[in-house]
Amino acid sequence: MNPSDNYRALDALQFDNRFTAELPADSEQSNNIRQVRNACYSRVQPVGFSNPELVAFSREMAAELDLSSESCLTLRFTEVFSGNRLLPEMDPYATCYGGHQFGQWAGQLGDGRAINLGEVINRHGKRWALQLKGAGPTPYSRMADGLAVLRSSLREFLCSEAMHHLGVPTTRALSLMLTGETVTRDMFYDGRPKAEPGAVVCRTAPSFTRFGNFQILTAQGDTDLLRRFTEYTLRTDFNEQRELTPKVITEWFTDVCRRTAIMICHWMRVGFVHGVMNTDNMSILGLTIDYGPYGWLEDYDPGWTPNTTDASGRRYCYGRQPEIGLWNLVQLANSLLPMVEQVEPLQQALEVYSETFVAHRQQTMAAKLGLKHYDAATDDTLTTDLHQTLKLAETDMTVFYRRLGAMDITSDSFKESTNDELLNPLMDAFYQPEQLSGDTLQQFADWLKSYRHRMMQDGSPYKERRQRMDAVNPKYVLRNYLAQMAIDKVEQGDNSLLEELMDTLRHPYDEQPDKEQFAAKRPEWARHRAGCSMLSCSS
């Protein structure tokens, strides 16, 4: 291929830009902090940086945009997706939205450090919005600088793609750039800020519309624009061409409830904890959005949150995510009420959320345990007892399920085993094996015996059961300490660990014998190290 073809590949991107073409813009043109009314967005330009440098790109996401890997290695790609150069059809803007933060209405929020470049239509007719995070301030920056640091940007880039390969509904990431400049941040909120490497991540999604986009319009009493924005959303993001009636709105909201339930069920399946489930961080497409202080459940503690800001209240801990999903949907329902004018249809839609979550959670648990189907009469108790038992000792959730799948639970030798022998195949999952004694050891053994009894009823051969379990129980997840190790390396100018992690996380359910070090439980040195367990919202 002629090198110039790689440069032309960017120019060949087909921009649609329906958002700015069909919705009202902020009438004020200057980029200053302000309250915005009668508008869905403000036009704004990226600031540009002194010496941007490509750190990594997703070849899968590039392919979705009809870009070759070679085109992503060009200087022009670096210039465009760091914000230093705009393609002719780009129309940059920041959206206006509100939201509830930690349960309290926060008023106007908006894209404080995200600048949308426009929407691309690929050769299959699929829409992809392109968004730079960390490319400079917007009218919604709320006294911040609109910039981002490497540690948060790398974590978002890597996790977006890792979640995609796990099969979790998610926004995606195209690229990660260093800006060549530093950004000052107080990581621990302890009055000791320091300069860190600046970075920009290009996020992608069919749409970045959030619950908060509707909430702000209702809060402002702008029902006409609320209807206009809802019509746009149904037509563009849901391919709904029908007249906007209360029935149509309710049916659409029901779909949003269903999508949200499925997304959160996937989070629970893989042990993902979002950390900041504010309503402005909830996608109407049921996509995981805004990767801030997230984490994976290592020790099975339903009360664990990765967010230091949430350490006391634990509002967004692992075990409360289904409940918070419903709470957030109630807030979205309240914002749609001026158009529906009746509470009952919206309440019925909310019931669909709960019904969908329960149904998918049962299907998920059946697969995680290798069962052909979920029988509530027996399996409600089996799963409840398992979750109670896992809390008795510090148990790594990811390792436990993977090791459980490898056990030939229905073999004749299982019946003759002592309690210690029963637990031996699972020992790699326990952070403090000495906890497995006395009553705790007995309860784990008793559960394994109950599980064996259920599997004997199920009748699945060992290989079939293991295949079923390995398809939903990942071996590789983006543990916080792995991300931090990659951050440390990139800060030293070494991208090799980031690249190796990206390659490993492309196949999270596969046995990868040469990558076993990434499947191990969190090492002891990482238990309390900054960036390896809980994280702040600082970025």
d(CA 68, CA 7): 10
Beta-carbon contacts of residue 399 (< 8 Å; ≥ 6 apart): 428, 429, 519, 520, 521
Look-up of token digits 């158009």: 339
Instruction: Decide if 508 contacts 460 (C-beta within 8 A).
Output: no
Largest pairwise CA distance in the chain = 77
Separation of CA 422 from chain center: 36
- Catalytic entry in 111, 280, 299, 379: 280
Q: Which among 282, 271, 356, 276 is positioned nearest to 313, based on CA atoms?
A: 276
Beta-carbon contacts of residue 419 (< 8 Å; ≥ 6 apart): 441, 442, 444, 445
SS3 assignment for 107-136:
EECCCCCEEEEEEEECCCCCEEEEEEECEC
Q: Which among 361, 399, 387 is positioned nearest to 516, based on CA atoms?
A: 399
Give the CA distances from residue 199 to residues 61, 78, 273, 362, in Å, rounded to whole numbers and listed in that order.
19, 12, 24, 41
Q: Which among 255, 508, 467, 258 is positioned nearest to 360, based on CA atoms?
A: 258
Look-up of token digits 């940059």: 92
d(CA 319, CA 361): 13
d(CA 411, CA 424): 15
d(CA 264, CA 261): 5
Instruction: Write out the DSSP string of 385-407.
Output: HHHHHHTTS-BBHHHHHHHHHHS
Q: What's the residue count for the chain? A: 539
The H or E element containing residue 294 is none
| Catalytic residue check, 280 | yes
Query: From edge to edge, which strands make up the β-sheet containing 172-185?
Result: 41-43, 93-95, 114-121, 127-133, 194-205, 172-185, 53-57
Instruction: Give me the residues paired with residue 199 across strands.
Output: 178
d(CA 124, CA 68): 16
d(CA 122, CA 401): 39
Helix axes 343-368, 321-340, angle to 10 degrees: 150
d(CA 272, CA 168): 10
Indicate which residues carry an active-site annotation: 280
